[in-house]
Chain A
Amino acid sequence: MASASRSLAAAFAANAFPIAVASAVFIIAVGLPSTDSDTYWHLAMGQWMLDHREFLRQDIFSSTVAGTHFGIGEWLGQIAFAASFAASGWAGVAILRATLIALGSFFVVRLARRGGTPWWISLPLVVAALLVSKITWTDRPLLFTLALFPAVLELLLSLPPGFSRRLFALPLIFLLWTNLHGGYLLGLAVLAIFATEAVLTNGRRGLPLLATAIACVAVSFLNPAPLELAGAAREDFLHPPRFLTEFLPPDVVTPAGALFAGFVMLVIGSALLRGGSLREAMLLAPLLYLAFTAQRQMLFFCFAATAFLGARLAELAPRWRVFEIPAPVRAPVALVLVIAALASATGAPVRPETRAYPAGALDALRADTGVLLNEYDWGGYLIFNLPERPVFIDGRYVPYLAGVLDDYRAVVALRPGWRDLLDKYKVSELLLRPQRPLAVALREDGWRVLSSDKEGLWIVLARP
Chain B
Amino acid sequence: MTGGIFGAISTLATVGDPDLFWHLAQGRQTVTEGLARVDAFSWSVKGLPVLTDQWFGQVIWYEAYAALGWNGIIVLRALLVAAIVTLIVAAALRAQRRPIFALIATLPAIALTRFAWTERPQLMGLLCFAVLVLLLQASAERPRLLMAVPALIVVWANLHASFALGLGVTAIACAELWLRRPDARRLVVGVIAASIAATLLTPSGLTIWTSASGHFLSPPRIILEEGVPDVTQPYGFVFAFIVLAVLVTAQLSRPTVLREVALLVPVLFVSMTAARHTPFFAVASASYLAAHAPDAIAFVAARFRINAHFPAFAPRVPPLRIDVAMAAIALAAVVGTGLLARGEPDLSAYPTGVLSSLPPGPGVVNDYDWGGFLIWYAPATPVFIDGRLFPYTGDALRDYETLVSLGPTWRDVLARRGARAVLVKPGSPLAVRARDLRWSVVAESVSYVLFIVPNSR
- Of chain B, the residue at the smallest CB distance from A262 is B269
Contact with B along A232-276 (1 / 0, CB 8 A): 000000111010000011111100000001001101110111111
How far is it, in angstroms, between the C-alpha of A170 and the C-alpha of B82 when the chains are bound? 55
Question: With a CB–CB cut-off of 8 A, which chain A residues contact B250?
Answer: 268, 271-272, 275-276
Judge whether B436 is part of the interface by a CB distance below 8 angstroms.
Answer: yes
B247 touches A271 (CB 8 A): yes
Minimum C-beta distance from B61 to chain A (A): 30
Minimum C-beta distance from A51 to chain B (A): 40
A residues 16-39 in Cβ contact with B at 8 Å: none
Knowing A264-B268, A415-B432, the reply to whether A273 touches B247 (Cβ < 8 A) is: no
| A-contacting 9-mer, from B93-101, B238-246, B340-348, B366-374 | B238-246
B304 touches A200 (CB 8 A): yes
B residues 9-35 in Cβ contact with A at 8 Å: none
The number of A-B residue pairs with CB atoms under 8 Å apart is 130
How far is it, in angstroms, between the C-alpha of A293 and the C-alpha of B231 when the chains are bound? 6
- Of chain B, the residue at the smallest CB distance from A238 is B232
Question: With a CB–CB cut-off of 8 A, which chain A residues contact B248?
Answer: 281, 285
Judge whether B354 is part of the interface by a CB distance below 8 angstroms.
Answer: no
Judge whether A437 is part of the interface by a CB distance below 8 angstroms.
Answer: yes
How far is it, in angstroms, between the C-alpha of A273 and the C-alpha of B221 when the chains are bound? 34
Judge whether A59 is part of the interface by a CB distance below 8 angstroms.
Answer: no
| A-contacting 9-mer, from B160-168, B259-267, B415-423 | B259-267
A residues 280-299 in Cβ contact with B at 8 Å: 280-281, 284-285, 288-289, 292-293
Judge whether B144 is part of the interface by a CB distance below 8 angstroms.
Answer: no
A288 touches B243 (CB 8 A): yes
Judge whether B427 is part of the interface by a CB distance below 8 angstroms.
Answer: yes
Interface of B is mostly: helix
Interface of A is mostly: helix
Question: With a CB–CB cut-off of 8 A, which chain A residues contact B261?
Answer: 269, 272-273
A residues 421-446 in Cβ contact with B at 8 Å: 434-435, 437, 439-441, 445
- Of chain B, the residue at the smallest CB distance from A242 is B230
B residues 408-446 in Cβ contact with A at 8 Å: 408, 410, 426-427, 429, 432-433, 436
B255 touches A275 (CB 8 A): yes
Knowing A269-B261, A280-B251, A434-B408, the reply to whether A249 touches B231 (Cβ < 8 A) is: yes
How far is it, in angstroms, between the C-alpha of A416 and the C-alpha of B428 when the chains are bound? 8
How far is it, in angstroms, between the C-alpha of A281 and the C-alpha of B296 when the chains are bound? 11
A272 touches B433 (CB 8 A): no
Judge whether B217 is part of the interface by a CB distance below 8 angstroms.
Answer: yes
Judge whether B256 is part of the interface by a CB distance below 8 angstroms.
Answer: yes
Question: With a CB–CB cut-off of 8 A, which chain B residues contact A271?
Answer: 247, 250-251
Partner of B251, one of A238, A277, A415: A277
How far is it, in angstroms, between the C-alpha of A268 and the C-alpha of B285 when the chains are bound? 12
- Of chain A, the residue at the smallest CB distance from B271 is A252
Knowing A251-B228, A289-B244, A416-B432, the reply to whether A272 touches B269 (Cβ < 8 A) is: no
Knowing A268-B265, A435-B408, the reply to whether A414 touches B273 (Cβ < 8 A) is: no
How many residues in B have their beta carbons less than 8 Å from beta carbons of A?
48
- Of chain A, the residue at the smallest CB distance from B285 is A268
Contact with B along A289-326 (1 / 0, CB 8 A): 10011000000000000000000000000000000000
Partner of A253, one of B217, B231, B236, B410: B217
A440 touches B299 (CB 8 A): no
A272 touches B256 (CB 8 A): yes
Question: With a CB–CB cut-off of 8 A, which chain A residues contact B230?
Answer: 242, 249
Interface centre among B217, B232, B236, B253, by most chain A C-beta atoms within 10 angstroms, is B232
Judge whether B272 is part of the interface by a CB distance below 8 angstroms.
Answer: yes
B406 touches A281 (CB 8 A): no
Question: With a CB–CB cut-off of 8 A, which chain B residues contact A119?
Answer: none
Question: With a CB–CB cut-off of 8 A, which chain A residues contact B273?
Answer: 252-253
Question: With a CB–CB cut-off of 8 A, which chain B residues contact A289?
Answer: 231, 240, 244
Judge whether B254 is part of the interface by a CB distance below 8 angstroms.
Answer: yes
Question: With a CB–CB cut-off of 8 A, which chain B residues contact A158?
Answer: none
How far is it, in angstroms, between the C-alpha of A177 and the C-alpha of B229 when the chains are bound? 32
Judge whether A88 is part of the interface by a CB distance below 8 angstroms.
Answer: no
Judge whether B456 is part of the interface by a CB distance below 8 angstroms.
Answer: no
How far is it, in angstroms, between the C-alpha of A440 and the C-alpha of B258 when the chains are bound? 58
- Of chain B, the residue at the smallest CB distance from A248 is B228
Question: With a CB–CB cut-off of 8 A, which chain A residues contact B406?
Answer: 414, 437, 440-441
B residues 61-81 in Cβ contact with A at 8 Å: none
A416 touches B426 (CB 8 A): yes
How far is it, in angstroms, between the C-alpha of A280 and the C-alpha of B300 when the chains are bound? 13
Question: With a CB–CB cut-off of 8 A, which chain A residues contact B405?
Answer: 437
B240 touches A415 (CB 8 A): no
Knowing A276-B251, A288-B244, the reply to whether A437 touches B231 (Cβ < 8 A) is: no
Question: With a CB–CB cut-off of 8 A, which chain B residues contact A273?
Answer: 255-256, 258, 261
B256 touches A252 (CB 8 A): no
Knowing A273-B256, A274-B255, the reply to whether A249 touches B228 (Cβ < 8 A) is: yes
How far is it, in angstroms, between the C-alpha of A242 and the C-alpha of B272 when the chains are bound? 18
- Of chain A, the residue at the smallest CB distance from B273 is A252
How far is it, in angstroms, between the C-alpha of A289 and the C-alpha of B243 when the chains are bound? 9
Question: With a CB–CB cut-off of 8 A, which chain B residues contact A440?
Answer: 406-408, 410, 433
Judge whether A346 is part of the interface by a CB distance below 8 angstroms.
Answer: no
Question: With a CB–CB cut-off of 8 A, which chain B residues contact A413?
Answer: 429
B240 touches A292 (CB 8 A): yes
Judge whether B142 is part of the interface by a CB distance below 8 angstroms.
Answer: no
Minimum C-beta distance from B441 to chain A (A): 14
Interface centre among A272, A285, A414, by most chain B C-beta atoms within 10 angstroms, is A272
B232 touches A293 (CB 8 A): yes
Judge whether B359 is part of the interface by a CB distance below 8 angstroms.
Answer: no
- Of chain A, the residue at the smallest CB distance from B288 is A272
B247 touches A288 (CB 8 A): yes
Judge whether B201 is part of the interface by a CB distance below 8 angstroms.
Answer: no
B272 touches A252 (CB 8 A): yes
A278 touches B247 (CB 8 A): no
A265 touches B432 (CB 8 A): no
How far is it, in angstroms, between the C-alpha of A13 and the C-alpha of B41 when the chains are bound? 72
B228 touches A414 (CB 8 A): no
Partner of B436, one of A238, A250, A434, A441: A441
- Of chain A, the residue at the smallest CB distance from B254 is A275
Minimum C-beta distance from A376 to chain B (A): 17
Question: With a CB–CB cut-off of 8 A, which chain B residues contact A445?
Answer: 436
B272 touches A414 (CB 8 A): no
Judge whether B316 is part of the interface by a CB distance below 8 angstroms.
Answer: no
How far is it, in angstroms, between the C-alpha of A201 and the C-alpha of B410 when the chains are bound? 66
Knowing A253-B219, A414-B429, the reply to whether A269 touches B232 (Cβ < 8 A) is: no
How far is it, in angstroms, between the C-alpha of A281 and the C-alpha of B246 when the chains are bound? 10
Judge whether A384 is part of the interface by a CB distance below 8 angstroms.
Answer: no
Nearest first, the 4 A-B pairs at minimum CB distance are A276-B251, A271-B250, A281-B251, A437-B406
Instruction: Write 21 A-B pairs (CB below 8 A) sorted by A numbering.
Output: A200-B303, A201-B303, A238-B232, A249-B228, A252-B228, A253-B219, A261-B272, A273-B256, A273-B261, A274-B255, A275-B251, A276-B250, A276-B252, A289-B244, A414-B429, A414-B432, A416-B426, A440-B406, A440-B407, A441-B433, A441-B436
Further contacts, 20 of them, CB under 8 A, given A261-B272, A277-B251, A285-B247: A249-B229, A250-B228, A268-B268, A269-B264, A272-B255, A272-B256, A272-B265, A273-B255, A275-B251, A278-B300, A281-B248, A284-B251, A285-B248, A288-B240, A292-B229, A292-B240, A414-B433, A415-B427, A440-B408, A445-B436
